[in-house]
Amino acid sequence: MAQEVPSKFLLDLHVQFILGLDKKKDEFEYWASEQLRLNGVYWALTSLDLMNHKDDLNRDDVIAFVLSCQNKDGGFGGSVEHDSHLIYTLSAVQIMVMLDAVDRLDRSAITAFIQSRANADGSFTGDAWGEVDTRFSYIALAGLSLLDRLDAVDVAMAVRFIEACRNFDGGFGSTPGAESHAGQIFCCVGALAIVDALEIVEADKLGWWLAERQLKNGGLNGRPEKLEDVCYSWWVLSALSILDRIHWINKDSLIQFILGSQDADTGGIADRPGDVPDVFHMLFGVAGLALLGYPGLKAVDPRYCMPKYVTDHRIPNRRNIQSREAPPPPPSSQSKLDMEI
Amino acid sequence: MSSDDDDDLLFSDRPEWADVTPVPQDDGPNPLVPIAYAPNYADAMSYFRAVLATTDRSKRVLDLTEFIVRLNPGHYSVWKYRQDTVFALSADLTSELDFIEEMAEDQPKSYQIWHYRQAMVAHLSDASREIPFINRMLAIDSKNYHAWSYRQWVVYTFALWDKEFSDIDRLLEVDVRNNSAWNQRFWVFKNRPEGFEGGELEKEVEYVVKRILLAPRNESPWAYLRGIVALAGKTLADIPAIADLCASLRDTASNTSSTDVSPHALAMQLDIAVAKQNTAECKTICSLLIQQDPIRAKYWHYRLTLVA
């Protein structure tokens, strides 16, 4: 454990921590996470922007790197010469939106890639390998909305699949029947918010379940009886914020928990106090603080985990969403081996 | 699988790869994030690029892809290529299962490992090894999300409903706070062919009550109880045993002059009082919850506004 728990947000140190990331190239973790590189740039850029230091990253270099990760199928890999995956495709779009460089993207190629990942039952696969997960539903809908191309997929079916993943406790899992998990709940609630279908959510029931994630030390966990982790400051809070129930958790004790997870020597935020910081927890700690209105940080959009000024600009009051049918029954599985879990 | 001696050799030093020209990484000019690989990884990836370019489906590809995913288990492109190669070669899939079992011990949370396992078992149409394998993984981490999701696929696809309850009972015996096991119990009742008969509810409530009494503040069985009552088409107020449970937990606390009542017991009493439109009781319970669950006081204030 750190000797002294930081009680203030160490903004300057965090900026240095992020800018120093690409100097650690010789470390095992760096190249072993090669396929995450595009995510890493998104985590770093968003953290910096929320801290009012976006310009510390060279815009032209970032844009060139993003474009170098695009493949012929229109999707993006995690790094140069990696196969396309929805996860990196969303990071690419988010980065370019934040850099106001959407005009440099081939929107129709990206749209076609996302479209190609849609299944008939409304679910999405992440890549050509075929894994199904509500994370991919979120990514598809968030990405298309940022490109203003939600018309490219059957939004009503996508909503129907997410609804099939709603559980008895009000939460959502990765596939129909899978356990409720705060990360998946962010994805499902965020996706539903983006396509104006929040009526699928049992808001009071889910809001209480999310509030139950707060532990005595102020931190939040992702499932009952699991350890607290700074990243849930984002997954839980964003969903509560979208449901207009963020005040159901104790704000001050959560702020203290996140501040206590900062590394006062190196900068950066860890998963919990005393652990080694990384850029993933850096972003979700900062974004959590931003959502709680911590001073000195930009407002963040809980649906996109991007600065709010960016999404306000990118997504004006535009709603070209198909009207939805009455709530349908859960989808029946097609062939047994094709069942989505 | 290759022998240990071979594992240390660079692919450029292996005779069976002598006919292949490796394709080095092209980061382009002035890369933002140039990647400095360990030499053995860079060497293997150069041969992987060459394999991709020629769609090599020979047996040596299995050694190469194994080498890479052992160093970098998240590399989905390499996994996918291995899968296609295994199928193209009609290779022995049981040795693939051995390989995955060994990998999963070290990398239990790799999405790719579980997805690969599923692809192999779907192709084999034989799940005889799966439940024992999953149980071994759950013995390491009883809440492994991947293991549980995969278990649902296996149980559903191969109709292995019979053994689920004994495994769930065992896991709850070890840890009554295992939310994944409670979720699985609900999932089985909801999805098994015979469904959940209303007549089973009484016995099931008894099962849950017994386990709530072991740890009354444990959120999972309370949420499960709500779920299973709804699945049977009933409401909490229909089941006297539930009202009795809550009342006895509250009595026990007041008899010991402890303020330590499970908020879940109070919350359930509140829902029953709401259903019975007992406003005075609702207000009393909300006030208690505001005191006893202070971290969520604002939620209980909200509940109070709904009844006032």
What was the pLDDT predicted at A296?
97
Catalytic residues of B: 109
What was the pLDDT predicted at B31?
52
Q: Alpha helix locations (H) across chain A?
A: 11-19, 28-32, 37-50, 59-68, 86-98, 107-116, 134-146, 155-164, 182-194, 203-211, 231-242, 251-260, 279-291, 308-314
Of all residues in chain A, the one with the smallest CA distance to B122 is: A337
> pLDDT class for A6, splitting at 50, 70, 90?
confident
Q: CB–CB of A34 and B71 under 8 A? A: no
Interatomic CA distance for residues A173 and B92, integer angstroms: 34
Q: CB–CB of A22 and B32 under 8 A? A: yes
- SS3 label, residue A166: strand
Q: What is the pLDDT of residues B74-87, one digit of tens each?
A: 888 899 999 999 99
B25 has a chain A CB within 8 A of its CB: yes
Interatomic CA distance for residues A194 and A200, integer angstroms: 13
Of all residues in chain B, the one with the smallest CA distance to A223 is: B179
Q: What is the pLDDT of residues B119-136, one digit of tens each?
A: 999 999 999 999 999 999
What was the pLDDT predicted at B8?
77
Interatomic CA distance for residues A216 and B294, integer angstroms: 10
Q: Which of A40, A80, A179 sits opposite B179 (nearest CB)?
A: A179
Which of B149, B154, B270 to mutate: most A Cβ within 10 Å?
Answer: B149
* Residue B59 DSSP one-character state: T
A31-45, A109-123, A301-315, B106-120: segment of lowest average pLDDT: A31-45
> pLDDT class for A29, splitting at 50, 70, 90?
low
Indicate whether A274 pLDDT > 80. yes
* Neighbour-count burial for B204-242, b at 16+ CB within 10 Å, e otherwise: bbebbbebbeeebebbbbbbbbbbbbebbeeebeebeeb
Indicate whether A77 pLDDT > 50. yes
Which of B172, B299, B305 to mutate: most A Cβ within 10 Å?
Answer: B299
Indicate whether A178 pLDDT > 70. yes
Q: CB–CB of B31 and A82 under 8 A? A: no
What was the pLDDT predicted at B74?
85
Sign of the alpha-carbon torsion through A311, A314, A318, A322: negative
A185 close to A239: Cβ distance less than 8 angstroms: yes
Q: Which of A40, A178, A181 sits opposite B152 (nearest CB)?
A: A178
Q: What is the pLDDT of residues A106-152, one digit of tens each?
A: 999 999 999 999 999 999 999 989 899 999 999 999 999 999 999 99
Instruction: Give how many domains chain B has, as a whole number.
Output: 2
Residues 6 or more apart in contact with residue A187 via CB below 8 angstroms: A134, A135, A137, A138, A139, A172
What was the pLDDT predicted at B6?
57
Indicate whether A36 pLDDT > 90. no
Q: What is the pLDDT of residues B7-20, one digit of tens each?
A: 679 999 999 999 99
List the domain boundaries for chain A.
Answer: 7-109, 117-200, 202-308+319-341
> pLDDT class for B198, splitting at 50, 70, 90?
confident
- The residue among B207, B234, B261 that closes a domain is B234
B109 has a chain A CB within 8 A of its CB: no
For residues B183 and B221, state if they share a domain: yes
Q: What is the pLDDT of residues B132-190, one digit of tens each?
A: 999 999 999 999 999 999 999 999 999 999 989 999 999 999 999 999 999 999 999 99
A12-16, A71-75, B146-150, B256-260: segment of lowest average pLDDT: B256-260
Interatomic CA distance for residues B290 and B296, integer angstroms: 7
In a domain, B71, yes or no: no
Shortest Cα distance from A303 to chain B (angstroms)?
23
Which of B125, B152, B225 to mutate: most A Cβ within 10 Å?
Answer: B152
Average pLDDT, chain B: 92
A241-255, A324-338, B155-169: segment of lowest average pLDDT: A324-338
Which of A28, A76, A168, A253 to mutate: most B Cβ within 10 Å?
Answer: A168
> pLDDT class for A34, splitting at 50, 70, 90?
low
> pLDDT class for A315, splitting at 50, 70, 90?
confident
> pLDDT class for A23, splitting at 50, 70, 90?
low
For residues B289 and B264, state if they share a domain: yes
For residues B177 and B207, state if they share a domain: yes
In a domain, B193, yes or no: yes
Contacts of A22 in chain B (CB under 8 A): 32-33
A16 close to A53: Cβ distance less than 8 angstroms: no
What was the pLDDT predicted at A21?
80
Q: CB–CB of B32 and A65 under 8 A? A: yes
Interatomic CA distance for residues A146 and A150, integer angstroms: 9
Average pLDDT over residues A88-103: 97
Nearest to A149 by CA among A181, A80, A102, A183: A102
Q: CB–CB of A68 and B28 under 8 A? A: yes
Of all residues in chain A, the one with the smallest CA distance to B115 is: A131
Shortest Cα distance from A264 to chain B (angstroms)?
26
Contacts of A333 in chain B (CB under 8 A): 156
Q: CB–CB of B180 and A34 under 8 A? A: no
Contacts of A81 in chain B (CB under 8 A): 25-26, 49
- The residue among B234, B263, B287 that closes a domain is B234
Indicate whether B257 pLDDT > 80. no
Q: What is the pLDDT of residues A60-69, one digit of tens each?
A: 989 999 999 9
B18 has a chain A CB within 8 A of its CB: no
Nearest to B109 by CA among B63, B145, B148: B145
Class of domain A202-308+319-341: mainly alpha
Shortest Cα distance from B108 to chain A (angstroms)?
16
ipTM: 0.92
B58 close to B88: Cβ distance less than 8 angstroms: no
* Neighbour-count burial for B92-115, b at 16+ CB within 10 Å, e otherwise: ebeebbebbbebbeebbebbbbbb
Shortest Cα distance from A249 to chain B (angstroms)?
6
In a domain, B303, yes or no: yes
A304-313, B47-56, B250-259: segment of lowest average pLDDT: B250-259
Q: CB–CB of A178 and B148 under 8 A? A: yes
Interatomic CA distance for residues B222 and B71, integer angstroms: 43
Of all residues in chain A, the one with the smallest CA distance to B117 is: A131
What was the pLDDT predicted at B32?
54
pLDDT over 70 for what percent of chain A? 87
Of all residues in chain A, the one with the smallest CA distance to B267 is: A208
The tokens of A163 are what?
A: 């609804």
Average pLDDT, chain A: 89
Q: Which of A177, A250, A336 sits opposite B152 (nearest CB)?
A: A177
Of all residues in chain A, the one with the smallest CA distance to B144 is: A179
Indicate whether A319 pLDDT > 60. no
Interatomic CA distance for residues B80 and B86, integer angstroms: 10
pLDDT over 90 for what percent of chain A? 81
Contacts of A257 in chain B (CB under 8 A): none
Contacts of B223 in chain A (CB under 8 A): 168-169, 209, 224
Shortest Cα distance from A254 to chain B (angstroms)?
10
Parent domain of B272 = 246-307
- The residue among B191, B208, B234 that closes a domain is B234
Q: What is the pLDDT of residues B220-254, one digit of tens each?
A: 999 999 999 999 999 999 999 999 999 999 988 77
